[in-house]
Each structure stands twice: as structure tokens, then as C-alpha cells.
Chains A and B, each alone.
Chain A
Amino acid sequence: MKKTILTLMMLAVAVVTAGAQSYRGVHQYDGEHKNEVSGYFTGGDNVVSGKFFGFEASYRRHLADRWYVGGDTQMQFWKQLYSFDATGGYCLPVKFGHLYFDGKLMINRYQRWGFTETVFNLSATWESAYFDMRIGESLIHFRSSKWGEKYGYTEPLTLTFGMGVNIRHRTNPWNIGLYARNYDDYYYENWNINWGIRWYANINRQMRLFGEFNVRPAGSISQLASRYEGSMRIGMKYKW
């Protein structure tokens, strides 16, 4: 009972004070379930597009103990951003945590401005009891509908990096933590480093609530890192 009350309090605090994005938690395959589906609601305020909200959905299929594949999609209204991706990964258990290697191929359509972005990312994540970090590289290409098929801009390789810390061991049924990173579920950037609060809370063995409150500045610290976008996300994950 005490645990339930505490969990509900955490949820209430997190929902009210935080928001969310997608801290589903990175989890080694437990050998029992094969499928994971999750989704979240997102809303926020962006300097260019103003207020926006949207929905996201994800699916993961565990092919074996260490291998998985999946796909994600989102729609953000007002910003008119539509995305989908295909992803796959491998988990290597190590003594002090786990190493994950994953790849993602993603397409974003920024309908409001008529741009289509194609992104390929390869990353490695190290997850320990309380701390996780991620490093990788992204190849980003974008083009405008007005530029024609032949023209587009391929950015030089963009470093992907991020880290997070939790207040409780990662195997606990609820957790809350802080993070900083230069990417999000559907974009990879240069030195515009997001930061925020993340949390999750298991409802039962199959369902998890999760969320994030994300602050996305424009510019690096030497550019004063001005406010660019604030957003919240809250979602649910179900495995079977």
C-alpha cells in the first residue's frame, strides 16, 4: 500500500511538474516477452512554430535474447512534423551494466516548411545501475520540395552524445532521473544540448508509464543557450 501511494505521488508530481518525452527505459530482453508497444502524447512550445502537440507510437520485436528490431512514428500538429523510422539493435551483457549497439534509419517530413530529412544513426549505449551514456554518429540529409530532386544538403557527420542519471537502481519498478543530450527521438543536432527530467513507473509486470520534461535550447553555452523549445511527454509501454 505504501509503495502504491508513493508511486502514485511520484506520478502525480511528475505529471504536474514535468512533462514527458520518451524515457521508456532501455531494457535487456528478459527471455519471456517477445513484443513491446508504446506510445506517448507530446506537447510544447517552439520559437518558430509556436505551440504544438502530437502523438507517437513504437513497436519492438525481440528476435532473440540479444537482437531486436522495431519501428517508430510520430505526428506533431501545428509544427506539421511527421516522422517514421526503422531501428534494430544488439545487447551485449557486461559485468557492470549492458552495452547496446543500435542503428536507425529515419525520415522526417517538416511539412510546414516543405523539407524532408533523412537520417541514419549508429550509436552505442552503456547502461549501468544508475548511470547511462550514449555516443554515436549521425548522417543527415535534407532537401526542400522547391529545390528539386537533384539538390539536397548532406551534413558532415554529426556526433551523437548523451548521458543520464537515475536516483534508483535501474531494475526498480519506478525511477526518476536527469539527462542531457544533443538528440531526441526524432532529431539529431550539433551542440544544441537538450536537458530535462525523466521518469517511469511500472503499473504491473506488463505495463509501464513513462515521461519526460525536455528543455531544448538554441545554441551552445557560448551562445547563451537561449530558450528554443520546451516540451513534455507522457506515455505508456506494454509488453507481451
Chain B
Amino acid sequence: MAALAAGALCTSCDKVSPQGVLMAGTAVEDRVKMSHLYYKEYLNDYEMNLDTKNVQDGEYTFLVGADSHITDDPGRLDEMLKIGLDGDDLLYAHLGDIADTKPEYYIVLDSALQKAKERFVRKNYVQNEYGRWRHKNNPYDIIGWDYNEIHFPFFPVVGNHDLTHNGWAMWCSLFHSSFYEFDVCVGTYDDGRGTVYDHFIFLDTASGTLGKTQIDLINQGVLDGNYFNEETGGFQFYRHTFVFSHTNIFRPSSMQFASTFSREETFFLLNQFEEWNASIVFCGHVHAWDEREYNKVNYLTLDSMSERNSPKPGDYLLRVHVHKDGSLTWERVHMDYVAQK
């Protein structure tokens, strides 16, 4: 009875498992500890994930989507992945709630990502005469023998619906870490000051709180990036910092009942974003578009791209253009997919 009530309250959808909602799973403290261990061990993988041939003179685009809530129909996610591939976007960022409350939906998700990777590899990579993979446009940039060493540049944060059926086990088996950062090299300063990077930070806010471990790690500067590059012996500077969070900071209207952060955590985060000198903070969760700016930090909250939450075609994605001169623009990207009856 309690499970039914909780299921009805939380989701009101027959594709959601009420049992799953109650049999929650791994709490934020454990998720962050696991993620941080993985991140420390495999930090290079995050940077290798990026095919930086698409960064030309510091100019590139990336595509952001939110709340796909995949069940058995991956149509909208397929469309997002195709739009990114067609648009030569450097990377995809997903703002969480990627799948919904049943383990089998992760099979659908995995299949969609594998197919998109195949298309991505066909478009951008080729095997040389020895069978080793390399970028099509760069014969010297050899990846390796193994197809699995080519990383598909899809970077998600975890959302609350990704957890509420013991889904963390499924989510982290695909994406490994919910708390990480990486840099994109966009050039060097002419005056020899060092290398210029853009900085991408992904937070685990699925539970509506960062939790003590994540706050401690943030306070220790774990996500601040490496300002001194030991390999080059030079300093690196961040041109832009982009932060990705599932839970939203601002509520678009009183009718949006999705929970936001508690007071103290809201203020802590707003200060932290300014300390990181963030250019844009991307949020999901609330299923409504919202855009505002405080103290040079832009806060963009995205609508849900799920065909169940947003059944009609609409502008559910966001493409960010980082221009050669360092300026930023963004546009909302239209999605046409309509669920099959």
C-alpha cells in the first residue's frame, strides 16, 4: 500500500516501479566516495573522451539535454545523439534522470549509446593498415587496437530517477562516476603565460544535497582543476567554467513542485559557482526552461526532453557555442521525435 502510494505520489506513471521507488539505494555519500575513487584512478580517461579536432582555434560547440526518463522508447535520446553528431558538437552533457525506475530501461539506454558510438566512430575514426584506430583527419593521432579505447563523449550527471530503483548500480556500470571534472584545451596565450583551458564540472545533486563528502571535497579544491601543468611546466588558465547539476537552483514558477536545495546549500552553491568563475551553470530536474544571470554567472534550467513529459516536438536541447574570441552564445535546439502510439 505504501509502495503504491509512494509510486503514485512520486511519478504518477504506469511505467514506474512503485517498489523501486521505495527500495531506493546508494546514498549520496557513498556515491561520491565511489565516484571520487574512480575519478582519481581514471582521470585521464575523461580527457581522452574528447575528440578535440572539433576545437579549432578555441572555437567549439556542445549539446546539453535533460531529463530524458527513458523507458522502452529511446527515440528522444537517439535524436539528441544524432543532432550532436550532425552538428559536430565536441561533447554531449546530460543533466540526469536519463532513465526511469526500472533496470531493464538501462538496456535500452545502453543500446542507444552503443549505436550512437558506432555512428560516431564511423564518422570520425578509421583503422590503419595494422588495424589500429586513428582519427580520420589526423593520421598521427592513433588511439589503439581496441574499439573500446575510443570513448564516446557523453557526460552525464546522475538524477534522482536514476537512483530510485537501486539504479545507481546500473547507472555507474555505464558511466562510472557522478562527480568529476575535466579540461578542454583551447589554445595558449600569446604572451607565454601558459595553456588556456575550458573547464567542465559535474556535480552529484541527485539527492537534493551534495552531502558532506562532496562538500568537503569541493572545499578541498578537488574540482578546482590543476592550475600548474607539470608536464609543460606552465600554468593553465580557465577561459570558461561550465557546471552541470541535476537539481535546479531556481524555480521557474510556483507550479513547479520539484524540490530544490535547502537554504544553506543554495547559498553555498551560489558562492561556489562565483568562486569557480562559472560562465554557465546547467540544471535539470524541474522540467521547465528558466534563464537568469547573477554576478556574471548564467543559470540555465532545461526542460525535459522525455517524450512522455514533453510529448509534442519542441526546443528541449541546448547548444552552446564557445567562440574564437572567448564569447559565449547559446541556442535552444528543436526536437521532432514524437512517441509511437
Residue positions of A touching B, CB distance < 8 A: 46-49, 79, 108, 110, 112-115, 117, 142, 144, 146-147, 151, 153, 155-159, 187, 189-192, 216-226, 228-229
Contact = CB atoms under 8 A, between A and B. Distances in A.
Interface string B205-242: 01111111001000000000000000000000000000
Contacts of B252: 156
A76 to B, nearest CB: 10
B265 interface: yes
Given A192-B262, A223-B206, A48 B295 contact: no
Given A222-B160, A226-B28, A187 B209 contact: no
Contacts of B256: 156
Interface residues of B, number: 46
B254 A223 contact: no
B294 interface: yes
B259 A151 contact: no
Contacts of A187: 263
A48 B265 contact: yes
B140 interface: no
Contacts of A226: 27-28, 207-209, 211
B163 interface: yes
A147 B259 contact: no
Interface of B: 6, 9-11, 21, 24-25, 27-28, 160-161, 163-164, 206-212, 215, 247, 250-265, 267-268, 270-271, 274, 292, 294-295
A147 B27 contact: no
Given A144-B270, A220-B208, A189 B263 contact: yes
A155 B251 contact: yes
Nearest to B6: A221
Contact of A224 (B24, B251, B267): B24
Contacts of A219: 160, 207-209, 247, 259
Given A47-B212, A110-B264, A222 B164 contact: yes
B207 A146 contact: no
B207 to A, nearest CB: 4
A48 B265 CA distance: 6
Contacts of A158: 254
B260 A190 contact: yes
Contacts of B294: 144, 147, 151, 153
